[in-house]
Amino acid sequence: MPARTMFDKVWTAHEVVPETPDTPAVLYVDLHLTHEVTSPQAFALLRARGLPVRRTDRTLATMDHSTPTRTEQVFGDEPIGLTDAARQVHQLEENAKEFAVELFGLRDPRRGIVHVIGPEQGATQPGMTIVCGDSHTSTHGALGALAFGIGTTEVGHVLATQCLLQRKPKTLAVEVGGRLGAGVTAKDLILAIIGKIGVSGGTGHVLEYRGPAISALSMAERMTVCNMSIEAGARAGMIAPDELTLEYLAGRPRRPRGADWDAAVAGWRSLATDPGAAFDSRVEIDASALEPMITYGTNPGMVLPIGGAIPSDRDDPVFERALAYMGFRPGEPMLGKRVDVVFVGSCTNGRLEDLQATAQILRGRRVAPGVRMLVVPGSQEVKREAEALGLAEVFRAAGAEWRESGCSMCLGMNGDTVPAGATSVSTSNRNFEGRQGVGARTLLASPYTAAACAVAGKITDPRDLL
């Protein structure tokens, strides 16, 4: 048998019907994650056709995008503030009950952002195919799963059949050598990768992140990297499972047990790309040469080292429009620019390690006057862990707001928004126009950088505070 990539192994194992020149493949789905925003129309489709959910045992629902993060609206008597958000939450409760789908409801202690709770619960496992009606499903590739976002119509297809029509993507090896320096994080790494290959560099491909710098990352850091694969245009991102992956999964509630665990581990160990396997494309990155990164425009590919100056591209009207929206000019340094809002959280950087990094900067310091800072855990479990470690007190003492879990300020649809014209340093994954609120200006960065900017009230190199 010829040498195969990890992606090829997982794809082939899930092909129900191979693709032909005229038809896509029929791909079996191991785990279908759903949430309140992209599922209502899909459940309505089933209801209209009199269809059940094909595999309720392979379907898991949570609430995250529209859920409030204010404690009084989650656990108190205050109603959800936004009518549309309240409607979506209620509709998912009704749909889950009607179709017998397991739901982590608003007050469930297991609830959280869909791409945080999947790995956290052990539902995400190596070698799986995982889909969700959300672009950042690629997060789960950090454990060696083939995971990607699907549209609302496809959500209905998977609910009804547990299968999906897909064309087979190509493969792109992202070889990361060296080692990240002090104050440089996985978020900086993935921003640098996107900056190098561009927001369409991965289009039509599944990225496999490889090399010593990737092997040195923690599981949370690997999730950050895979999470933003879609921002490079990729279908998915994957990292081969290793001993760290097994240690992470051991003890998780939904892991295989007993002999099933032993059999699963044997299979997971065989997933790594075979020596000599061919990729369709390759790109190389030297992690040791990287600095903290920050975006300056309206897509994640408009990124530069934090000490750099905004470039010029006067022949590109889209580029010029982006700078005009952000209120920036070519040649201006990023360091020293005013910051109005700081957000730490999201499925990119809302895990315990991210909050620990934030606290490392904030401990013994105060958020600058005039700056609003939100710290939002990625799940209720992360929230409990952070509080047990005293991190919540660090955040509150610094003047930051400590919230319940949810997508929060990553996107302006749950009440947590950035005012028009305000500049936000955010640990989330998208800096599109209006993403955090109408007229909001978003700069993507790591938790270290976000916290440093909150303290200084301006764009600041976090290494100066570490």
Domains of the chain: 1-291 (3.30.499.10), 292-464 (3.30.499.10)
Q: Which of 391, 429, 456, 446 is nearest to 182 (CA)?
A: 446
Tell me the C-alpha distance between 138 and 241, whole Å. 15
Tell me the C-alpha distance between 31 and 105, whole Å. 19
Give the CA radius of gyration of the chain. Answer: 21
Please tell me the predicted confidence (pLDDT) of residue 49: 97
Region 231-244 average pLDDT:
98
Q: Which of 106, 118, 119 is nearest to 36 (CA)?
A: 106
Tell me the C-alpha distance between 239 and 226, whole Å. 8
Greater pLDDT, 315 or 155: 155
* pLDDT at 409 exceeding the cut of 80: yes
pLDDT digits (tens, 9 = 90+) for 175-226: 999 999 999 999 999 999 999 999 999 999 999 999 999 999 999 999 999 9
Please tell me the predicted confidence (pLDDT) of residue 1: 80
pLDDT digits (tens, 9 = 90+) for 59-116: 999 999 999 999 999 999 999 999 999 999 999 999 999 999 999 999 999 999 999 9
pLDDT tier at 397 (50, 70, 90 boundaries)?
A: very high
Tell me the C-alpha distance between 61 and 114, whole Å. 8
pLDDT tier at 281 (50, 70, 90 boundaries)?
A: very high
Amino acid occupying residue 143: L
Please tell me the predicted confidence (pLDDT) of residue 307: 98
Q: Residue 165: beta bridge partners?
A: 26
Percent of the chain with pLDDT over 90: 99
Region 146-156 average pLDDT:
97
Give the number of other Cβ atoms within 10 Å of residue 30's Cβ: 21
Return mean pLDDT, the chain: 97
* pLDDT at 321 exceeding the cut of 80: yes
Region 340-362 average pLDDT:
98
Tell me the C-alpha distance between 352 and 94, whole Å. 32
Q: Residue 295: beta bridge partners?
A: 303
Coil/strand/helix, residue 25: strand
Q: Is 448 in contact with 356 (CB distance < 8 Å)?
A: no
pLDDT tier at 313 (50, 70, 90 boundaries)?
A: confident
Q: Residue 176: beta bridge partners?
A: 285
pLDDT tier at 315 (50, 70, 90 boundaries)?
A: confident
Q: Which of 414, 351, 349, 345 is nearest to 117 (CA)?
A: 351
Q: DSSP readout, 150-217? A: --HHHHHHHHHHSEEEEPPPEEEEEEEES---TT--HHHHHHHHHHHH-TTTTTTEEEEEESHHHHTS
Helix (H) or strand (E) holding 357: helix 352-362
Indicate the pairing of strand 25-28 with strand 163-166: antiparallel
Tell me the C-alpha distance between 115 and 233, whole Å. 19
Q: DSSP readout, 415-458? A: S--PPTT-EEEESSS---TTTTSTT-EEEE--HHHHHHHHHHTB
Please tell me the predicted confidence (pLDDT) of residue 210: 98
Tell me the C-alpha distance between 176 and 284, whole Å. 6
* pLDDT at 314 exceeding the cut of 80: no
